[in-house]
Structure 1
Amino acid sequence: MPSRWEQVVVDAEDPARLARWWAEALGYVIVNEEPGEVEIRRTPDELPGLLFTPVTGTKRGKNRLHIDLRPDDQGDEVERLVGMGARPVDIGQRDVGWVVLADPEGNEFCVLGSKPAQ
């Protein structure tokens, strides 16, 4: 039997602050908060979640794993996320159909364009 995907662990200088930022960005809820770690999910019973844990020191270099978001309207979503504290970043993506942003601690993520109608 294959394994079940439980969560993605995100190292954070301030796990509670970053978890709250991502919960607002994704419309998720906090399902567990303990000293040093916070987990968010779409709903309390829905996996996978994002688990934010403490790390010392600042992030260095490009993430090797990142989240892609697919909103209904890319421009509106980029504007909303930047208004929440995300910032545009250049990781060498050149002329592409997505926008690369970084969360308040510098973790890159992509905001994709609308999914084409099928």
Structure 2
Amino acid sequence: MALEWEQVNVDAADPVALGRWWAEALGWVVVNDAAEEYEIRPAQDRLPGLLFAPVPEGKTVKNRLHSDFRPDDQEAEVARLLGLGARHADVGQGDGVTWVVLADPEGNEFCVLSSRRP
């Protein structure tokens, strides 16, 4: 038996708006733009994707699962994401960590790791 990772599902108050935000943030393509299932992927035929689905309740606590992203330039990437509408988030990371915790427009946390050094 084999499993293929198809997608990660993201609950959203506004799946289309949040999906569009993540598509721009990641440079991914939209493969389904329905309000009930808005899906983006790295490329049309490349998995896994992110599927945004509507839920009536809002986010209330820290995510138990989050994504980490490793940029070429952490400072520039954090500035770009903040410019798109992300905001800084405090999940108890403390001072002196090498990553930056941000939240998307609906409050889902993610980390921008330090840049890789050669």
Can you list the C-alpha shifts for 1:25-76, whole angstroms capped at 9, x where unaligned? 0000101122311000010000000000001121011001111111100000
1:22 aligns with 2:19: no
SS for the counterpart of 2:56 is coil
Other structure's SS at 1:79 match? helix
**What is the CA-CA distance between 1:79 and the residue it aligns to?**
0.4
> How far apart, CA to CA, are the structure 2 residues paired with 1:48 and 1:31?
12
User: Structure 2: any 5+ residue segments left out of the alignment?
Assistant: none
Distance, in Å, in 2 between the alignment partners of 1:41 and 1:85 is: 20
Aligned identity (percent) is 64
Report what 2:45 is aligned to: 45
TM-score (ref. length: structure 2):
0.96
- Corresponding residue SS for 1:9: strand
Kindly provide the amino acid, as one letter, of the partner of residue 98 in structure 1.
Answer: W
Q: Say what the alpha-carbon RMSD is for the aligned residues.
A: 0.8
**Matched letter for residue 18 of structure 2:** L
1:61 matched residue in structure 2: 61
Compute the displacement of 1:5 (Å).
0.3
In the other structure, the counterpart of 2:98 is: 97
| Residue pair 2:15, 2:35 contacting (<8 A) in 1 also | no
Q: Indicate the SS of the match to 1:30.
A: strand
What secondary structure does 1:77 align onto?
helix
Structure 1 runs not aligned, ≥5 long: none
- 1:73 maps to 73
Task: Report runs of 4+ in structure 1 exceeding 2 Å deviation.
Answer: none
TM-score between the two structures when normalised by the length of structure 1: 0.96
Secondary structure class of the residue paired with 2:64? coil
Distance in structure 1 (CA, Å) of the matches to 2:31 and 2:80: 24
- TM-superposed CA distance for 1:105, in Å, is 0.1
- Work out whether 1:107 is the aligned partner of 2:108: yes
